Amino acid sequence: MEDQEMQLKVRRVTDKFTESMYVLANEPSVALYRLQEHVRRSLPELVQHKTDMQSWEEQSQGAIYTVEYACSAVKSMNNSSLYFKNIDSLLHQAISTKEQINNSQGRR
C-alpha cells in the first residue's frame, strides 16, 4: 500500500515538474526573445533583398523609358511620311529644273 502511495506522490511531483517546465519554456518573454533572435538573424538578408529589388526597379524603369521613347520615335516617323513625299517631289522638281537650265545653256 505504501508503495502505491509513493508512486502516486512521485507521479504528482513529476507531473507538476513537467507542467512547470512547459510553462517556463513557453513563457511570453522566452517567446519574445526567440522572436527577437529570428528577426536579428533574418533582417540583414531581408535588407539585401530590398536593396536588390530597388536596383532592379530602377533598371526596369530605365528600360521602360527607353522602350516608350523608341515607340514614340517610330510613331513620329510614321507620321512624317507626308513630309518625305513632299521632299521627294521637290527634289524631282529641282532635278528637272536643273536639267532644263542645262539644256537651255547647252543650246546657247
**Chain centroid, CA 1 distance in Å:** 75
Q: How confident is the model at residue 29 (pLDDT cuts 50, 70, 90)?
A: confident
Q: Which residues contact 24 (CB under 8 A, 6 or more apart)?
A: 30
- Residue written as cell 512624317? 80
Give the tens place of pLDDT for each residue, 66-87.
Answer: 999 999 988 888 778 888 889 9
- Rg of the chain over all Cα atoms, to the nearest angstrom: 44
pLDDT band at residue 4 under the 50/70/90 scheme: confident
Domain extent listing, the chain: 1-80
CA angle 102/106/108 to nearest 5° reads: 125
* pTM, 2 dp: 0.46
pLDDT of residue 56: 96
